[in-house]
Amino acid sequence: MEYHEKGDLQRYLTKRFPETEARTITTQLLEALGYMHDNGFAHRDLKPGNILVMETTPIWWVKVCDFGISKRAQEESTALRTTAIGTKYYQAPEVCGMYSPDIVSEEVHEEADDTIYGVSVDIWALGAITYYLLTKQHAFGSLQALGKYATKRQSFPIQPLVEAGASDFCKDLVGQMLAASPGSRPTASQALKHPWIEEKSISSPSEDDTLDRPCLKEQLANSAF
């Protein structure tokens, strides 16, 4: 991976981000994930340490990198369903073995395919990142808390977002991305049409500029459906 003097997003997580900046970063990451998912590819380890910071002014410009454990979403579906992937705090409930048909409606569970199931872990991870940017707190600080939420014994932790002054549109999208049910999370393309994303006033870099494309292209070339 090429060197970037500004480092990764993890370096900047020392304070709450203004909502406008969090939205800019979230939008760029959704565009990057949309490209990957449209090509049948799931990153599976999206986290601040895998997000390069290219610029911070006049607007944030970030780029997804490190595709070390990414996979074709239709490939090795058993592994996608059973292997512990990702990084603590950004792992979806199903990755931690907390996924259950009881969490998802029968209709969604029966119709969900491996592609949807695979890429939805990236949407969860992005929701967890956005939540942290806004609150400087992890939505679920322990497996116990995540388990309670996944099994409907604990409600979505909205209070930190309220205390951070997040707008209603913001709280709505973050809540959708952090839905316990994989099938209830929006796709990247759906999230990009959410009012919170569409109300941004400053243009973001194109999807061509939000991926570490040489690394992704190498992965795409070495993978098959």
Q: Which residues are catalytic?
A: 45
User: Phi and psi (nearest 5°) for 149?
Assistant: -70, -45
**Nearest Cα residue to 128 out of 75, 168, 173:** 173
Query: Rounded to whole angstroms, how far apart are CA atoms 152 and 146?
Result: 10
Query: Rounded to whole angstroms, how far apart are CA atoms 211 and 1?
Result: 12
Residue 161 CB neighbours (<10 A): 22
Q: Phi/psi zone of residue 89: left (φ > 0), alpha (ψ -120 to 50 degrees), beta? A: left
Place of tokens 């205390």: 163
Q: Which residues pair with 211 in a beta bridge?
A: 64
**Nearest Cα residue to 170 out of 29, 9, 16, 23:** 23
* Amino acid at the residue 55: E
Q: Helix crossing, 19-38 with 114-135: angle to 10°?
A: 170
